[in-house]
Amino acid sequence: VFSSKDVVKILHNQNFRLIDSRSADRYRGENETIDPVSGHIPDALSVPFAGNLGADGCFLSQKDLKTRFQQVLGDIPPERAVFYCGSGVTAAHNLLALKHAGLGDARLYAGSWSEWITNPDHPIRKGSE
């Protein structure tokens, strides 16, 4: 499990992937219905957890999940991927999907966005940057 201090250490480090598991509109800061501050952590990629599911509400096939996460990770090994969301719950969904895809284990920033925004020194981005 990653802490906010750990996340600060990997910001702007191209050897890690920071992945936001919330919906794309929350990532962009357009529809924040839970937290008092909208946006995302700088350099985080938007990979909404709902993209792991098919129309039937079940996980996509192992092959499709593997393709999805390999596109996001590129040449970064899963153990250097850190997932977050609003409070850690939907990030865990992405972690499970990654494991189900056969790609191994990644890390969870459990405090997630709700914790990140409590420190005024933490940078915030809006939009799709």
Catalytic residue, from 44, 85, 91, 110: name it: 85
58 labelled catalytic: no
Q: Which 3-state string (H, E, C) describes the chain?
A: CECHHHHHHHCCCCCCEEEECCCHHHHHCCCCCCCCCCCECCCCEECCHHHHECCCCCECCHHHHHHHHHHHHCCCCHHHEEEECCCCHHHHHHHHHHHHCCCCCCEEECCHHHHHCCCCCCCCECCCC
Catalytic machinery residues? 85
